[in-house]
Structure 1
Amino acid sequence: MPHFPINHPARPLYRVLAGLIGLYILVFGVWGVAQTLGDPLFDRGSNWVLGLRTNLAFSLASVLFGAVLIIGASRRGNLGHYMNLTAGVVFLVTSILMMSVLQTDANILNFSMSTVIISMVFGLVLLGTGLYDKVGPPEHAEEAQRHRSHPVSQGER
């Protein structure tokens, strides 16, 4: 069973990172909707916002996803932990899938290679924040700390 650190001391920093990514995605989405409003939903035009190519569908999805990430980062419990893990995986899988269809008609969200790279970076950061922002009772954190500092876990036999 995987071990997630509980009550990590840098947890507030990780939540801020997840919130900043959510804010960037939300701003990107709102700006993209404003720029592409009136275009077809899956237009393959050359609309660029904050260095990423977009269309109305991708902008609307970004507004929704950015808001969800901000909500997850603002929660004190483990909701943000699970949301960041899930969002990290979604970003990574989506970026790989979209990279495979960049130069085809299947590129319905109008991704560019810069969008793929940013999605991969965001996915890795969100996955990392999800690994370290788990919350638990103090006794669980103390038990995890004792387990980590046990001589057998440090390789001393």
Structure 2
Amino acid sequence: MAHIPVNHPARTLYRVFSGLVGLYIFVFGVYGVVVTWGEPLFARDSTWVLGLRTNLAFALVSVLFGAVLMIGASRRTNLGHYMNLTAGAVFMVTGLAMMSVLQTSANFLNFSMSTVVVSLLFGLLLLATGLYDKIGTAEHAEAERQRRSHPVADSR
């Protein structure tokens, strides 16, 4: 993974972005739990929270996932880097999988097309933040900077 930037100057901004995604997911989940409490876990009714359709199962998963993303964004280690890459892939796969079952009984998380779009956007954002928030030693960052400014690298 030598092509992933180390100690990128904007890594704090990328961590803020991933933290905001985690905060939105957490707030969506908490509000969704409040709204859907007492309904069946995998209900398929028309319950909308913050612009997305949900059920109790999706709301509970969102609370957990949002908390994990916020914890990852708050850590100043590479844990957040790996969590963002993993979460981005999970969001992308989940969005595509749920889009393929939208109009079937397999839509157990009660997704709508707007939920799919938000899931794919969050996946792309988390993948992007995961690519730029890697932390390394100062020597590692300097070696990468030297490699990038090498005359042979500039001639390509």
Range class of TM-score, shorter chain: over 0.9
List 4+ stretches of structure 1 deviating above 3 A: none
Pairwise CA distance, 1:155: 2.8
Instruction: Write the mapping of 1:57-136 to structure 2, written as runs, cut at 5 A.
Output: 57-136=57-136
Aligned to 1:153: 153
TM-score, length-scaled by structure 1: 0.97
Pairwise CA distance, 1:81: 0.1
Pairwise CA distance, 1:151: 1.8
Task: Indicate the RMSD between aligned Cα atoms, in angstroms.
Answer: 0.8
1:33-87 deviation digits (Å, cap 9, x = unpaired):
0000000000001000000000000000000000000000000000000000000
Pairwise CA distance, 1:109: 0.1
Q: Name structure 2 gaps, 5 residues minimum.
A: none
Share of identical aligned residues, percent?
Answer: 71
Instruction: Write the mapping of 1:29-44 to structure 2, written as runs, cut at 5 A.
Output: 29-44=29-44
Q: Name structure 1 gaps, 5 residues minimum.
A: none
2:35 is paired with a residue of what secondary structure? helix
1:76 is matched by which residue type in structure 2?
R
Write the distance in 1 (CA, Å) between the matches of 2:131 and 2:17. Answer: 13
Q: Give the number of aligned pairs.
A: 156
TM-score, length-scaled by structure 2: 0.98
Pairwise CA distance, 1:2: 4.8
Write the distance in 1 (CA, Å) between the matches of 2:21 and 2:74. Answer: 13
